[in-house]
Structure 1
Amino acid sequence: MLVDNPKQRLFLALLPPPALQEQVTAIKQQFAEQFASQAALRSPPHITLVPPFEWPSSDLPALTGSLEAFAKQQTPVAIQLSGFGAFAPRVIFIHVVPSPELQQLQAQAHHHM
């Protein structure tokens, strides 16, 4: 007997404060218009901590609860942005300057997952 257990493609990310989200979204809108790419507007401005992975849909409540507990243990991380980069040919991004705090958070998120 086959059991259908579909998976969802997810990633774990930090979302910037609303004011910064608005600024970055305006830049994304400008890029979408300038380069005729609506893909820029598919996801909110974010900093990826854990790249895309697949997770069973039936286990999403457990993942959500686990990540909520993880997030409550974290302290705010200062982020510095500097210029633009690209994952050619389709992704333009704002460089996030690496910091020990951000790298530690990313390592903890990977370990938690």
Structure 2
Amino acid sequence: MKYGIAIFPTKKLQDLANSFRKRYDTHYALIPPHVTLKNAFEIDENDMKSVTDELAAIAKETAPIPLNIYKVSSFAPVNNVIYLKVDPNDELLELHEKLHSGTGYFQDNREYAFVPHITIGQKLSDDEHSDVLGTLKMTNIEHEETIDRFHLLYQLEDGMWTVYETFRCGKDC
């Protein structure tokens, strides 16, 4: 079964992201707006307890994470993904690194450099991507909040992602 690790922003920010995702994101119905901390990976059911124990230990050592959104951007020309740019602050980078610097399930499986973001559009044609990005870049987006938890998710047979377990930050929470 596929698992991943993500942060879900507050409802206010999810509502903002969803106002765009409804029109421009083909994965709108599969997962709420989120910041991916660890891309999909497989976990053997026999190892689930040790994985969740490790995540609980990481959470206990993690301070709350400031989530600052300050613009709309894109991964073009690599791919036509439009996203809300998340400030890559120390707390977020530290948590991401912890999830990629161990052995076993926490080894480095990064395909790309970590660019914290919330996807709002994907799988757009080149012309549509250019039009939508041009319009959204003129939108003034500034949002700040603090996140105090991250989630281990799993993918259902229909492609939807759901929370397996939530891990609350321990430092200063």
Calculate the aligned-residue CA RMSD, in Å. 2.3
Higher relative contact order (CA 8 A, sep 6+): 2
Q: Is the 8 A contact 2:37 2:99 kept in 1?
A: yes
Matched, 1:47 2:40: no
Which runs of 5 or more residues in structure 2 are unaligned? 107-173
- Whether the 8 Å contact between 2:38 and 2:99 is mirrored in structure 1 is yes
Structural mapping, 1:14-33, within 5 Å: 14-16=7-9, 21-33=10-22
* TM-score in terms of structure 1 length: 0.68
> CA 1:107–1:29 in 2, change beyond 3 Å: closer, same or farther?
closer
In structure 1, the partner of 2:101 is 111
How far, CA to CA, are the matches of 2:87 and 2:40 in structure 1?
A: 21
- Percent identity between matched residues is 26
TM-score (norm 2): 0.48
Please state which structure has a larger fraction of its residues in helix: 1
Which amino acid letter does the alignment assign opposite residue 25 of structure 1? Q
Matched residue count: 100
Equivalent residue for 2:69, pick from 81, 87, 93: 81
Q: 2: distance between equivalents of 1:72 and 1:24?
A: 25
Is 2:55 the partner of 1:67? Answer: yes
SS at match of 2:40: strand
